[in-house]
Amino acid sequence: MQSVQHEAVPGCELCAATQAQLIVSSANWRVILVDDVNYPGFCRVIWNQHVKEMTDLSEAERQEIMQVVWQVEAAQREVLQPHKINLASFGNMVPHLHWHVIPRYLDDTHFPNPVWAAAQTSGPAEEILSARRERLPQLIRAIQQRLSSI
């Protein structure tokens, strides 16, 4: 199946150019750092064309976006050393193909539940979150390096 060409959809927050911090982009996709105080390193991989589902992409495009997701995950594991990485692609609220790549820790606010569930605890102390945020420049460089050849 060939990818369906779509223009930006008015009101789609993922089509908008004013997303969170852009880490790296290509003609087909971009990776942003989500500004989430409780989840430093939370990234989103967004397919640039406004398509709803993975099957809207050609097989080569599906492989390309998943390679990006895997490389972001690998960079997070290397730099942040989380307990677990959560990968999610819902699109129920924003039907524009994107993947959430979320580093998780045993002490995070929602663990072991998804970050969208009810909070389980108040989360880690501010100094722990600060230490995790201090690694973000290194994470950004690692992601850029890993994706420089894709």
Alpha carbons within 13 angstroms on the beta-carbon side of residue 121 total 12
What's the rounded Cα separation, in Å, for the pair 85 and 3?
Answer: 29
Sorted by sequence, the CB contacts under 8 Å of residue 14 that are 6+ apart come out as 46, 50, 94, 96, 98
For residue 60, is pLDDT > 50? yes
Q: Name the one residue in this structure whose structure tokens are 């976006």.
A: 65
Which DSSP letter does residue 121 get? Answer: S
In this predicted structure, what is the pLDDT of residue 19?
55
- Compute the average pLDDT of residues 99-103: 98
- Is the pTM here over 0.95, yes or no? no
**Are 3 and 61 within 8 A, CB to CB?**
yes
Q: What is the CATH number of domain 21-147?
A: 3.30.428.10
What's the rounded Cα separation, in Å, for the pair 100 and 86?
Answer: 8
What's the rounded Cα separation, in Å, for the pair 150 and 144?
Answer: 10
- Compute the average pLDDT of residues 128-134: 97
User: Any idea where the domains of the chain sit in the sequence?
Assistant: 21-147
The length of the chain is 150
Burial class of residue 93 in the structure, from the number of CB atoms within 10 Å of its CB (0-12 exposed, 13-18 middle, 19+ buried)? exposed
For residue 45, is pLDDT > 90? yes
